[in-house]
Structure 1
Amino acid sequence: MSAFETILTARDGDVLTITLNRPDRLNAAPPEMFTEIRAALADLGGARAVLFASTGRAFCSGADLAGGLDRGGDPAEATHQALSTAYNPTMQAIARLDVPVVSAVRGPAAGIGCSLALAADFCVASDTAYFLQAFVNIGLVPDGGASWMLPRLIGKARAAEMMMLGERVPAQTALDWGMIHKVVPDQELDEAARALAMRLAAGPTRALGAMRRALIGALETDYAAAMAAEADAQRDMRRTQDSVEGGMAFLAKRRPAFTGR
Protein backbone atom coordinates (compact mmCIF):
# COMPACT_ATOMS: atom_id res chain seq x y z
CA MET A 1 0.00 0.00 0.00
CA SER A 2 1.07 3.64 -0.42
CA ALA A 3 3.07 5.25 2.39
CA PHE A 4 1.42 7.97 4.47
CA GLU A 5 2.66 10.18 7.28
CA THR A 6 -0.19 9.88 9.81
CA ILE A 7 -1.91 6.60 8.96
CA LEU A 8 -1.00 3.04 8.10
CA THR A 9 -2.81 1.03 5.44
CA ALA A 10 -2.83 -2.72 4.93
CA ARG A 11 -4.81 -5.34 3.04
CA ASP A 12 -5.89 -8.50 4.83
CA GLY A 13 -7.74 -10.54 2.25
CA ASP A 14 -10.63 -8.37 1.09
CA VAL A 15 -10.40 -5.97 4.05
CA LEU A 16 -8.61 -2.61 3.82
CA THR A 17 -7.43 -1.58 7.30
CA ILE A 18 -6.70 2.11 7.88
CA THR A 19 -4.87 2.64 11.16
CA LEU A 20 -4.54 6.06 12.79
CA ASN A 21 -0.85 6.27 13.64
CA ARG A 22 0.07 9.13 15.96
CA PRO A 23 0.14 7.28 19.28
CA ASP A 24 2.37 9.89 20.93
CA ARG A 25 -0.48 12.41 20.42
CA LEU A 26 -3.27 9.94 21.29
CA ASN A 27 -3.93 9.94 17.53
CA ALA A 28 -5.01 13.57 17.58
CA ALA A 29 -5.92 14.29 13.98
CA PRO A 30 -4.41 17.18 12.03
CA PRO A 31 -6.15 18.03 8.77
CA GLU A 32 -3.47 16.03 6.94
CA MET A 33 -4.63 12.82 8.62
CA PHE A 34 -8.12 13.15 7.19
CA THR A 35 -6.73 14.11 3.80
CA GLU A 36 -4.66 10.91 3.90
CA ILE A 37 -7.69 8.84 4.95
CA ARG A 38 -9.60 10.22 1.99
CA ALA A 39 -6.73 9.37 -0.34
CA ALA A 40 -6.62 5.82 1.02
CA LEU A 41 -10.35 5.45 0.41
CA ALA A 42 -10.18 6.84 -3.11
CA ASP A 43 -8.82 3.56 -4.48
CA LEU A 44 -10.00 0.52 -2.54
CA GLY A 45 -8.17 -1.75 -4.95
CA GLY A 46 -10.97 -4.31 -4.86
CA ALA A 47 -11.34 -4.32 -1.06
CA ARG A 48 -14.85 -5.30 0.02
CA ALA A 49 -14.80 -3.83 3.53
CA VAL A 50 -12.93 -1.09 5.41
CA LEU A 51 -11.72 -1.29 9.01
CA PHE A 52 -10.67 1.81 10.95
CA ALA A 53 -8.22 1.03 13.76
CA SER A 54 -5.58 2.85 15.79
CA THR A 55 -2.17 2.45 17.37
CA GLY A 56 -1.59 3.02 21.07
CA ARG A 57 -4.16 3.51 23.81
CA ALA A 58 -6.51 5.93 22.05
CA PHE A 59 -8.67 5.77 18.96
CA CYS A 60 -8.52 9.52 18.36
CA SER A 61 -8.44 12.34 20.91
CA GLY A 62 -9.88 14.86 18.45
CA ALA A 63 -8.51 17.42 16.03
CA ASP A 64 -4.88 18.39 16.58
CA LEU A 65 -5.24 22.06 17.36
CA ALA A 66 -1.62 22.48 18.39
CA GLY A 67 -0.08 20.62 15.49
CA GLY A 68 -2.50 21.17 12.67
CA LEU A 69 -4.69 24.25 12.89
CA ASP A 70 -2.92 26.96 14.86
CA ARG A 71 -0.28 28.04 12.38
CA GLY A 72 -0.65 31.78 12.45
CA GLY A 73 -3.27 34.03 10.91
CA ASP A 74 -6.90 33.91 11.96
CA PRO A 75 -7.48 30.66 13.90
CA ALA A 76 -11.22 30.85 13.26
CA GLU A 77 -10.67 30.95 9.51
CA ALA A 78 -8.04 28.21 9.76
CA THR A 79 -10.54 25.97 11.57
CA HIS A 80 -13.22 26.68 8.98
CA GLN A 81 -10.80 25.91 6.16
CA ALA A 82 -9.66 22.65 7.79
CA LEU A 83 -13.26 21.51 8.21
CA SER A 84 -14.24 22.53 4.70
CA THR A 85 -11.22 21.07 2.88
CA ALA A 86 -10.12 18.09 5.01
CA TYR A 87 -12.41 16.81 7.74
CA ASN A 88 -15.84 17.23 6.15
CA PRO A 89 -14.94 15.91 2.68
CA THR A 90 -13.47 12.81 4.31
CA MET A 91 -16.60 12.19 6.38
CA GLN A 92 -18.65 12.55 3.19
CA ALA A 93 -16.33 10.13 1.37
CA ILE A 94 -16.92 7.54 4.09
CA ALA A 95 -20.68 8.00 3.75
CA ARG A 96 -20.45 7.44 -0.02
CA LEU A 97 -18.43 4.21 0.16
CA ASP A 98 -19.99 1.21 -1.57
CA VAL A 99 -18.51 -1.23 0.95
CA PRO A 100 -19.29 -1.74 4.65
CA VAL A 101 -17.19 -0.01 7.31
CA VAL A 102 -16.15 -1.18 10.79
CA SER A 103 -14.38 0.86 13.47
CA ALA A 104 -12.37 -0.61 16.35
CA VAL A 105 -12.31 1.84 19.26
CA ARG A 106 -10.18 1.70 22.39
CA GLY A 107 -9.67 4.59 24.75
CA PRO A 108 -11.00 8.01 23.81
CA ALA A 109 -12.94 8.75 20.65
CA ALA A 110 -13.32 12.49 21.09
CA GLY A 111 -14.46 15.32 18.85
CA ILE A 112 -13.73 14.50 15.22
CA GLY A 113 -12.50 11.10 16.43
CA CYS A 114 -15.97 10.40 17.81
CA SER A 115 -17.50 11.36 14.47
CA LEU A 116 -15.06 9.10 12.62
CA ALA A 117 -15.76 6.13 14.90
CA LEU A 118 -19.53 6.51 14.61
CA ALA A 119 -19.44 6.98 10.82
CA ALA A 120 -18.79 3.23 10.57
CA ASP A 121 -21.69 0.88 9.99
CA PHE A 122 -20.45 -1.16 12.96
CA CYS A 123 -18.52 0.40 15.84
CA VAL A 124 -16.85 -2.26 18.00
CA ALA A 125 -15.55 -0.79 21.26
CA SER A 126 -13.12 -1.98 23.87
CA ASP A 127 -14.28 -1.83 27.47
CA THR A 128 -11.69 0.95 27.83
CA ALA A 129 -13.39 3.11 25.19
CA TYR A 130 -15.40 6.25 25.73
CA PHE A 131 -17.05 8.74 23.40
CA LEU A 132 -16.82 12.48 24.02
CA GLN A 133 -18.08 15.72 22.57
CA ALA A 134 -16.19 18.20 24.75
CA PHE A 135 -16.56 21.29 22.58
CA VAL A 136 -18.84 23.03 25.10
CA ASN A 137 -15.95 23.06 27.56
CA ILE A 138 -13.95 25.35 25.25
CA GLY A 139 -16.87 27.38 23.90
CA LEU A 140 -17.10 25.62 20.54
CA VAL A 141 -19.65 23.40 18.79
CA PRO A 142 -19.49 19.77 17.61
CA ASP A 143 -18.32 19.25 14.05
CA GLY A 144 -17.51 16.51 11.57
CA GLY A 145 -21.24 15.83 11.17
CA ALA A 146 -21.82 15.11 14.88
CA SER A 147 -24.88 17.36 15.14
CA TRP A 148 -26.49 15.42 12.25
CA MET A 149 -25.31 11.98 13.35
CA LEU A 150 -25.91 11.91 17.10
CA PRO A 151 -29.66 12.70 17.26
CA ARG A 152 -30.27 10.08 14.58
CA LEU A 153 -28.30 7.47 16.52
CA ILE A 154 -29.43 8.17 20.07
CA GLY A 155 -32.25 10.73 19.92
CA LYS A 156 -32.35 14.46 20.61
CA ALA A 157 -32.27 14.26 24.42
CA ARG A 158 -29.15 12.11 24.63
CA ALA A 159 -27.48 14.02 21.81
CA ALA A 160 -28.10 17.22 23.77
CA GLU A 161 -26.58 15.55 26.83
CA MET A 162 -23.42 14.67 24.93
CA MET A 163 -23.13 18.01 23.17
CA MET A 164 -24.22 20.45 25.89
CA LEU A 165 -22.78 18.77 28.99
CA GLY A 166 -19.55 17.58 27.38
CA GLU A 167 -19.21 14.48 29.54
CA ARG A 168 -17.67 11.13 28.67
CA VAL A 169 -20.00 8.36 27.48
CA PRO A 170 -18.43 5.02 28.48
CA ALA A 171 -18.54 2.15 26.01
CA GLN A 172 -21.23 0.23 27.91
CA THR A 173 -23.46 3.31 28.09
CA ALA A 174 -22.92 3.91 24.36
CA LEU A 175 -24.02 0.33 23.75
CA ASP A 176 -27.08 0.70 25.99
CA TRP A 177 -28.02 3.87 24.10
CA GLY A 178 -27.78 2.09 20.73
CA MET A 179 -24.88 4.26 19.60
CA ILE A 180 -22.45 1.41 18.90
CA HIS A 181 -22.56 -2.24 17.87
CA LYS A 182 -20.65 -4.17 20.53
CA VAL A 183 -18.37 -3.91 23.58
CA VAL A 184 -15.60 -6.47 24.08
CA PRO A 185 -12.69 -6.86 26.52
CA ASP A 186 -9.74 -4.75 25.44
CA GLN A 187 -7.54 -7.72 24.60
CA GLU A 188 -10.23 -9.06 22.26
CA LEU A 189 -10.91 -5.82 20.37
CA ASP A 190 -8.57 -6.23 17.41
CA GLU A 191 -9.65 -9.77 16.61
CA ALA A 192 -13.37 -9.05 17.13
CA ALA A 193 -13.31 -6.06 14.78
CA ARG A 194 -11.21 -7.90 12.21
CA ALA A 195 -13.52 -10.93 12.27
CA LEU A 196 -16.56 -8.71 11.70
CA ALA A 197 -14.85 -6.87 8.84
CA MET A 198 -13.86 -10.21 7.27
CA ARG A 199 -17.43 -11.47 7.59
CA LEU A 200 -18.77 -8.38 5.86
CA ALA A 201 -16.09 -8.59 3.16
CA ALA A 202 -17.27 -12.11 2.37
CA GLY A 203 -20.86 -10.93 1.94
CA PRO A 204 -22.80 -9.75 -1.13
CA THR A 205 -20.82 -6.52 -1.53
CA ARG A 206 -23.09 -4.74 -3.97
CA ALA A 207 -26.16 -5.48 -1.85
CA LEU A 208 -24.35 -4.26 1.27
CA GLY A 209 -23.41 -1.07 -0.56
CA ALA A 210 -27.03 -0.59 -1.60
CA MET A 211 -28.07 -1.07 2.03
CA ARG A 212 -25.60 1.65 3.12
CA ARG A 213 -27.07 4.07 0.58
CA ALA A 214 -30.63 3.17 1.59
CA LEU A 215 -29.93 3.67 5.29
CA ILE A 216 -28.38 7.09 4.79
CA GLY A 217 -30.96 8.13 2.21
CA ALA A 218 -33.87 7.06 4.39
CA LEU A 219 -32.77 9.52 7.07
CA GLU A 220 -33.39 12.35 4.62
CA THR A 221 -36.54 11.27 2.78
CA ASP A 222 -40.15 10.23 3.36
CA TYR A 223 -41.67 6.75 3.65
CA ALA A 224 -42.90 6.50 0.06
CA ALA A 225 -39.59 7.71 -1.40
CA ALA A 226 -37.69 5.23 0.78
CA MET A 227 -39.83 2.36 -0.53
CA ALA A 228 -39.36 3.53 -4.12
CA ALA A 229 -35.59 3.59 -3.59
CA GLU A 230 -35.78 0.07 -2.14
CA ALA A 231 -37.66 -1.14 -5.19
CA ASP A 232 -35.03 0.32 -7.52
CA ALA A 233 -32.20 -1.20 -5.50
CA GLN A 234 -33.94 -4.58 -5.35
CA ARG A 235 -34.27 -4.63 -9.13
CA ASP A 236 -30.56 -3.82 -9.50
CA MET A 237 -29.50 -6.44 -6.96
CA ARG A 238 -31.60 -9.16 -8.62
CA ARG A 239 -29.32 -8.73 -11.64
CA THR A 240 -26.10 -9.42 -9.70
CA GLN A 241 -24.11 -12.65 -9.66
CA ASP A 242 -24.30 -12.71 -5.88
CA SER A 243 -28.09 -12.73 -6.03
CA VAL A 244 -28.02 -15.72 -8.38
CA GLU A 245 -25.52 -17.48 -6.11
CA GLY A 246 -27.61 -16.69 -3.03
CA GLY A 247 -30.73 -18.19 -4.61
CA MET A 248 -28.92 -21.32 -5.76
CA ALA A 249 -27.32 -21.78 -2.33
CA PHE A 250 -30.71 -21.40 -0.64
CA LEU A 251 -32.26 -24.08 -2.83
CA ALA A 252 -29.28 -26.39 -2.35
CA LYS A 253 -29.28 -25.74 1.42
CA ARG A 254 -25.62 -24.75 1.37
CA ARG A 255 -23.64 -21.69 2.39
CA PRO A 256 -23.43 -19.07 -0.42
CA ALA A 257 -20.02 -18.11 -1.83
CA PHE A 258 -20.38 -14.43 -2.62
CA THR A 259 -17.82 -12.74 -4.86
CA GLY A 260 -18.96 -9.11 -4.67
CA ARG A 261 -20.24 -9.08 -8.24
Structure 2
Amino acid sequence: MNALNGAASRTIIDAFDDWSTRGDVRVVVIEGVGGSFSTGADVIDIADAAGGPGGGLDATQARGVISSGSDLARAVRSVGVPVVAVVDGPAAGIGASLALAADLIYATERSYFLLAFINIGLMPDGGASMSVTAAVGRARANAMALLGEKLPAAEAFDAGLITKVVADRTALDASVGAAVAKLATSSASALRLTKAALDAHSMADFDKALDRELEGQTTLLQSAEFQAAMAAFAGAKR
Protein backbone atom coordinates (compact mmCIF):
# COMPACT_ATOMS: atom_id res chain seq x y z
CA MET A 1 0.00 0.00 0.00
CA ASN A 2 2.91 2.29 -0.88
CA ALA A 3 4.43 2.41 2.59
CA LEU A 4 7.45 4.70 2.50
CA ASN A 5 10.79 3.24 3.49
CA GLY A 6 14.08 5.11 3.34
CA ALA A 7 14.86 4.08 -0.24
CA ALA A 8 11.43 5.08 -1.57
CA SER A 9 11.58 8.43 0.20
CA ARG A 10 15.06 9.08 -1.18
CA THR A 11 13.89 8.35 -4.72
CA ILE A 12 11.00 10.80 -4.40
CA ILE A 13 13.25 13.46 -2.82
CA ASP A 14 15.82 13.12 -5.60
CA ALA A 15 13.13 13.46 -8.27
CA PHE A 16 11.68 16.60 -6.69
CA ASP A 17 15.15 18.07 -6.21
CA ASP A 18 15.78 17.58 -9.93
CA TRP A 19 12.44 19.07 -10.98
CA SER A 20 12.96 22.09 -8.71
CA THR A 21 15.97 23.14 -10.82
CA ARG A 22 14.40 22.69 -14.25
CA GLY A 23 12.85 25.58 -16.14
CA ASP A 24 10.83 23.32 -18.45
CA VAL A 25 8.68 21.85 -15.66
CA ARG A 26 5.22 23.47 -15.39
CA VAL A 27 3.47 21.05 -13.03
CA VAL A 28 4.32 17.95 -11.01
CA VAL A 29 1.81 15.16 -10.31
CA ILE A 30 2.30 12.63 -7.54
CA GLU A 31 0.04 9.63 -6.97
CA GLY A 32 0.01 6.13 -5.50
CA VAL A 33 -0.69 2.87 -7.29
CA GLY A 34 -2.60 -0.26 -6.36
CA GLY A 35 -5.59 1.34 -4.66
CA SER A 36 -3.93 3.61 -2.11
CA PHE A 37 -1.93 6.81 -2.01
CA SER A 38 0.36 5.79 0.86
CA THR A 39 -0.25 4.19 4.25
CA GLY A 40 2.72 6.02 5.75
CA ALA A 41 6.14 5.03 7.00
CA ASP A 42 7.27 1.44 6.54
CA VAL A 43 7.36 0.21 10.14
CA ILE A 44 9.27 -2.92 9.07
CA ASP A 45 12.01 -0.66 7.74
CA ILE A 46 12.12 1.22 11.06
CA ALA A 47 12.19 -2.07 12.99
CA ASP A 48 15.08 -3.31 10.88
CA ALA A 49 16.98 -0.09 11.64
CA ALA A 50 16.41 -0.81 15.32
CA GLY A 51 17.75 -4.35 15.00
CA GLY A 52 14.41 -6.11 14.57
CA PRO A 53 11.16 -6.25 16.62
CA GLY A 54 11.87 -5.39 20.25
CA GLY A 55 14.93 -3.32 19.39
CA GLY A 56 15.23 0.36 20.09
CA LEU A 57 16.40 3.36 18.12
CA ASP A 58 19.16 5.57 19.46
CA ALA A 59 18.99 9.35 19.04
CA THR A 60 20.97 9.35 15.80
CA GLN A 61 18.82 6.62 14.24
CA ALA A 62 15.60 8.29 15.40
CA ARG A 63 16.65 11.63 13.99
CA GLY A 64 17.55 9.98 10.69
CA VAL A 65 14.13 8.34 10.39
CA ILE A 66 12.27 11.60 10.98
CA SER A 67 14.66 13.66 8.85
CA SER A 68 13.63 11.48 5.92
CA GLY A 69 10.00 12.55 6.34
CA SER A 70 10.94 16.18 6.85
CA ASP A 71 13.14 16.13 3.76
CA LEU A 72 10.31 14.55 1.78
CA ALA A 73 7.88 17.35 2.63
CA ARG A 74 10.55 19.98 2.12
CA ALA A 75 11.37 18.57 -1.32
CA VAL A 76 7.73 18.82 -2.39
CA ARG A 77 7.56 22.43 -1.27
CA SER A 78 10.88 23.26 -2.98
CA VAL A 79 9.37 22.88 -6.46
CA GLY A 80 8.48 26.34 -7.69
CA VAL A 81 5.57 25.22 -9.87
CA PRO A 82 2.29 23.67 -8.64
CA VAL A 83 2.39 20.12 -7.26
CA VAL A 84 -0.78 18.06 -7.67
CA ALA A 85 -1.55 15.12 -5.36
CA VAL A 86 -3.87 12.45 -6.76
CA VAL A 87 -5.39 10.46 -3.90
CA ASP A 88 -7.37 7.29 -4.52
CA GLY A 89 -7.59 5.33 -1.28
CA PRO A 90 -5.91 5.89 2.09
CA ALA A 91 -3.38 8.63 2.76
CA ALA A 92 -2.14 7.94 6.27
CA GLY A 93 0.74 9.05 8.46
CA ILE A 94 3.61 10.49 6.43
CA GLY A 95 1.56 9.51 3.36
CA ALA A 96 -1.06 12.05 4.42
CA SER A 97 1.67 14.60 5.09
CA LEU A 98 3.08 14.00 1.61
CA ALA A 99 -0.30 14.49 -0.06
CA LEU A 100 -1.07 17.60 1.98
CA ALA A 101 2.28 19.17 1.13
CA ALA A 102 1.00 19.48 -2.46
CA ASP A 103 -0.65 22.64 -3.78
CA LEU A 104 -3.71 20.99 -5.34
CA ILE A 105 -5.17 17.79 -3.91
CA TYR A 106 -7.77 15.70 -5.76
CA ALA A 107 -9.37 12.63 -4.19
CA THR A 108 -12.01 10.00 -4.81
CA GLU A 109 -14.94 9.54 -2.44
CA ARG A 110 -13.47 6.32 -1.07
CA SER A 111 -10.27 8.09 -0.02
CA TYR A 112 -9.48 9.28 3.47
CA PHE A 113 -6.78 11.14 5.38
CA LEU A 114 -5.50 9.79 8.68
CA LEU A 115 -2.90 11.18 11.07
CA ALA A 116 -2.35 7.79 12.66
CA PHE A 117 0.79 8.78 14.57
CA ILE A 118 -0.86 8.91 18.02
CA ASN A 119 -1.86 5.25 17.69
CA ILE A 120 1.79 4.19 17.86
CA GLY A 121 2.98 6.77 20.36
CA LEU A 122 4.16 9.40 17.87
CA MET A 123 3.17 12.90 16.70
CA PRO A 124 2.42 14.23 13.20
CA ASP A 125 5.42 14.99 11.02
CA GLY A 126 6.14 15.95 7.43
CA GLY A 127 4.66 19.37 8.19
CA ALA A 128 1.18 17.99 8.94
CA SER A 129 1.03 19.70 12.33
CA MET A 130 0.93 22.98 10.38
CA SER A 131 -0.66 22.13 7.03
CA VAL A 132 -3.70 20.42 8.56
CA THR A 133 -4.27 23.07 11.23
CA ALA A 134 -3.95 25.88 8.70
CA ALA A 135 -6.55 24.26 6.45
CA VAL A 136 -9.20 22.79 8.78
CA GLY A 137 -8.80 24.85 11.93
CA ARG A 138 -7.66 24.02 15.45
CA ALA A 139 -10.62 21.95 16.64
CA ARG A 140 -10.73 19.59 13.66
CA ALA A 141 -6.95 19.30 13.54
CA ASN A 142 -6.90 18.39 17.23
CA ALA A 143 -9.41 15.59 16.63
CA MET A 144 -7.30 14.20 13.81
CA ALA A 145 -3.96 14.48 15.62
CA LEU A 146 -4.92 13.77 19.25
CA LEU A 147 -7.65 11.18 18.65
CA GLY A 148 -6.38 9.73 15.39
CA GLU A 149 -9.76 10.34 13.73
CA LYS A 150 -10.06 9.41 10.06
CA LEU A 151 -11.20 12.23 7.78
CA PRO A 152 -13.11 10.95 4.72
CA ALA A 153 -12.45 12.77 1.46
CA ALA A 154 -15.88 14.40 1.35
CA GLU A 155 -15.36 15.86 4.82
CA ALA A 156 -11.80 16.84 3.92
CA PHE A 157 -13.18 18.85 1.01
CA ASP A 158 -15.88 20.48 3.15
CA ALA A 159 -13.21 21.39 5.71
CA GLY A 160 -11.02 23.02 3.07
CA LEU A 161 -8.22 20.44 3.31
CA ILE A 162 -8.36 19.28 -0.32
CA THR A 163 -9.17 20.85 -3.67
CA LYS A 164 -11.83 18.52 -5.04
CA VAL A 165 -13.53 15.19 -4.32
CA VAL A 166 -14.99 13.07 -7.14
CA ALA A 167 -16.93 9.83 -7.39
CA ASP A 168 -14.37 7.40 -8.74
CA ARG A 169 -11.04 6.87 -10.48
CA THR A 170 -12.42 7.75 -13.90
CA ALA A 171 -13.69 11.10 -12.65
CA LEU A 172 -10.44 11.61 -10.76
CA ASP A 173 -8.32 11.16 -13.88
CA ALA A 174 -10.58 13.53 -15.82
CA SER A 175 -10.41 16.25 -13.16
CA VAL A 176 -6.66 15.97 -12.70
CA GLY A 177 -6.14 15.88 -16.48
CA ALA A 178 -8.09 19.10 -16.91
CA ALA A 179 -6.15 20.84 -14.15
CA VAL A 180 -2.79 19.65 -15.47
CA ALA A 181 -3.68 20.76 -19.01
CA LYS A 182 -4.54 24.23 -17.69
CA LEU A 183 -1.32 24.47 -15.69
CA ALA A 184 0.84 23.15 -18.55
CA THR A 185 -0.31 25.97 -20.81
CA SER A 186 -0.05 28.72 -18.21
CA SER A 187 2.84 31.12 -17.85
CA ALA A 188 5.66 29.42 -15.96
CA SER A 189 6.71 32.73 -14.41
CA ALA A 190 3.17 33.52 -13.33
CA LEU A 191 2.78 30.07 -11.76
CA ARG A 192 6.02 30.38 -9.81
CA LEU A 193 5.39 33.92 -8.58
CA THR A 194 1.77 33.17 -7.66
CA LYS A 195 2.75 30.04 -5.74
CA ALA A 196 5.51 31.94 -3.92
CA ALA A 197 3.09 34.73 -2.98
CA LEU A 198 0.50 32.29 -1.65
CA ASP A 199 3.14 30.32 0.24
CA ALA A 200 4.39 33.49 1.90
CA HIS A 201 1.06 33.64 3.74
CA SER A 202 -0.20 30.08 4.07
CA MET A 203 3.12 28.22 4.44
CA ALA A 204 5.26 30.83 6.20
CA ASP A 205 5.83 28.62 9.27
CA PHE A 206 6.39 25.37 7.39
CA ASP A 207 10.10 25.06 8.20
CA LYS A 208 9.47 25.91 11.85
CA ALA A 209 6.81 23.19 11.98
CA LEU A 210 9.25 20.68 10.52
CA ASP A 211 11.86 21.64 13.11
CA ARG A 212 9.39 21.19 15.99
CA GLU A 213 8.25 17.86 14.59
CA LEU A 214 11.84 16.68 14.17
CA GLU A 215 12.67 17.40 17.80
CA GLY A 216 9.45 15.88 19.13
CA GLN A 217 9.55 12.78 16.96
CA THR A 218 13.23 12.14 17.73
CA THR A 219 12.27 11.90 21.40
CA LEU A 220 9.14 9.82 20.79
CA LEU A 221 10.87 7.31 18.51
CA GLN A 222 13.12 6.40 21.44
CA SER A 223 10.22 5.95 23.87
CA ALA A 224 9.15 2.65 25.37
CA GLU A 225 5.60 3.22 24.06
CA PHE A 226 6.74 3.45 20.45
CA GLN A 227 9.15 0.55 20.77
CA ALA A 228 6.34 -1.66 22.10
CA ALA A 229 3.97 -0.57 19.32
CA MET A 230 6.65 -1.08 16.70
CA ALA A 231 7.49 -4.57 17.97
CA ALA A 232 3.81 -5.56 17.98
CA PHE A 233 3.15 -4.21 14.49
CA ALA A 234 6.34 -5.50 12.93
CA GLY A 235 5.92 -8.90 14.54
CA ALA A 236 2.39 -9.21 13.15
CA LYS A 237 3.55 -8.26 9.64
CA ARG A 238 6.45 -10.71 9.44
Residue of structure 2 in register with 1:31 after alignment:
6
Is 1:100 the equivalent of 2:100? no
Q: Which has the higher helix share?
A: 2
Q: Cα RMSD between the aligned structures?
A: 1.7
Q: Provide the C-alpha distance between the structure 2 equivalents of 1:210 and 1:95, rounded to a whole number of angstroms.
A: 14
Deviation at 1:120, TM superposition (A): 1.1
Equivalents in 2 of 1:195, 1:42: separation in Å? Answer: 26
Residue 141 of structure 1 corresponds to which residue in structure 2?
A: 123
Instruction: Give the percent of matched residue pairs that are identical in Structure 1 and Structure 2.
Output: 40
2:175 to 176, 186, 192: 192
Which among 62, 67, 70 is matched to residue 45 of structure 2?
67
Asked if structure 1 preserves the Cα contact closer than 8 Å seen for 2:101 and 2:127, the reply is no
One-letter code aligned to 1:215:
L
Q: Contact 1:101–1:197 at 8 Å: present in 2 too? A: no
Rg larger in structure = 1
Aligned partners of 1:52 and 1:179: how far apart in 2?
Answer: 17
The two structures have a TM-score, normalised by structure 2, of: 0.77
Structure 1 distance, partners of 2:98, 2:122, is: 18
Structure 2, unaligned stretches of length 5 or more?
205-238
TM-score in terms of structure 1 length: 0.70
Query: After TM superposition, where is structure 1 displaced by more than 2 Å over at least 4 residues in a row?
Result: 42-45, 67-80
Structure 1 residue 56 and structure 2 residue 34: aligned? Answer: yes
**Equivalent residue, structure 2, for 1:226:** none
**Residue 55 of structure 1 aligns to which amino acid in structure 2?**
V
Who is 1:216 aligned against? 199
Unaligned runs of 5+ in 1: 1-25, 222-261
| Residue 195 of structure 1, CA deviation | 2.4
The answer for the alignment partner of 2:185 in structure 1 is 202
Q: Deviations over 1:34-60 (max 9, x none)?
A: 211111122235221000111111100
CA distance in 2, matches of 1:98, 1:141: 28
Which residue of 99, 103, 112 maps to 1:117?
A: 99
* 1:62-111 residue CA offsets vs partner (Å, 9 max, x unmatched): 10011355323542543321221x22122112112111111110110001
**Could you say what secondary structure the match of 2:66 adopts?**
helix
Structure 1 letter corresponding to 2:196: R
Give the structure with the larger strand fraction.
1
* Counterpart in the other structure of 1:19: none
CA distance in 2, matches of 1:96, 1:196: 21
Question: Match for residue 241 of structure 1?
Answer: none
